[in-house]
Structure 1
Amino acid sequence: MNKRNRIKKNEEFQEVFKSGSSVANRQFVIYMLDKPGQTQLRIGLSVSKKIGKAVVRNQIKRYIRQAIQDLREELKQDVDYVIIARMPTATMDFFETKKSLIHVLKIAKAFKK
């Protein structure tokens, strides 16, 4: 995932939290903010220290990035997504993570029609 496709600044995270909509399942919370005119989707990731040490948190972020990369063509492109991982993600492998992300993205209606 390119740097221009990531949300890194706190102000950008706060804008999505305040103005966007959210959906959740047991493993993830996803905030979405429509950005008309934006050509590519942007992703922000948040994995709390409560979930585990740095190795576990980084692994979860890698899994999420790869899952989003696999789903990139199917997702709406003019949206900013902030994905917050919850505690159960610490014990999940890549395929479980991807399945759970697909589930919550379907609930959020984030896929193109």
Structure 2
Amino acid sequence: MRLPRKFSISNRVDFARVRELGKSRPGRYLVVSVLHSDELEHFKYGLITTKKVGKAHQRNYFRRVFRSIMQNHGEEICEDYYIVTIARWRASEASYEELEREWLRLAHKLGVLTPEGA
């Protein structure tokens, strides 16, 4: 599944609303926050990589990794959720497979994945 631009969260207000009103689960390498919204036609995702993760090329790498995970598992994600993924400073220690496994585990715990995708 290719993720068009309309699937990404671009407003600072939406990021803040997900963090304040939504549910959040921390993991070793990342934190996933979700907010259910009946008004959405499809899920929207946001990626946060701070300077604690590393220099610009490392932050860009993690954005590409998380975008790839969302593309690979996009059909399994429920349609009515805002999803924000935050990379922790330990993310640079993890492989792609570890990051994907952890993201799926946290998404499953938060109830974002459809029963077929769980």
The residue number in structure 1 matching 2:62 is 60
Aligned residues: 113
- For structure 1, the residue ranges without an aligned partner over 5 or more in a row are none
Counterpart residue identity of residue 20, structure 1:
G
Out of 48, 71, 83, the position equivalent to 1:69 is 71
Q: What is residue 101 of structure 1 aligned with on the other side?
A: 103
Distance 1:79 1:58 in 2: 24
Percent of aligned pairs sharing the same letter: 25
Indicate the larger mover: 44-53 or 88-97.
88-97
Distance in 1 between residues matched to 2:29 and 2:95, nearest whole Å: 12
Residue 106 of structure 1 deviates from its aligned partner by 1.6
Give ranges in structure 2 of 5+ residues lacking alignment. none
- The alignment yields a C-alpha RMSD, in angstroms, of 1.1
Q: Deviations over 1:11-30 (max 9, x none)?
A: 11111112111111111111
| CA displacement 1:33-83 (0-9 Å, x = unmatched) | 111131111001101101100000000110000011111111111100011
Deviation at 1:108, TM superposition (A): 1.3
**Distance (whole Å) between structure 2 residues aligned to residue 18 and residue 68 of structure 1:** 23
Q: Normalized against structure 1, the TM-score is what?
A: 0.93
What TM-score, normalized by structure 2, do the two folds share?
0.89
How far the C-alpha of 1:92 sits from its partner, in A, is: 2.3
Q: Which runs of 4+ in 1 moved over 3 A?
A: none
Does the Cα contact within 8 Å between 1:46 and 1:85 map onto a contact in 2? yes
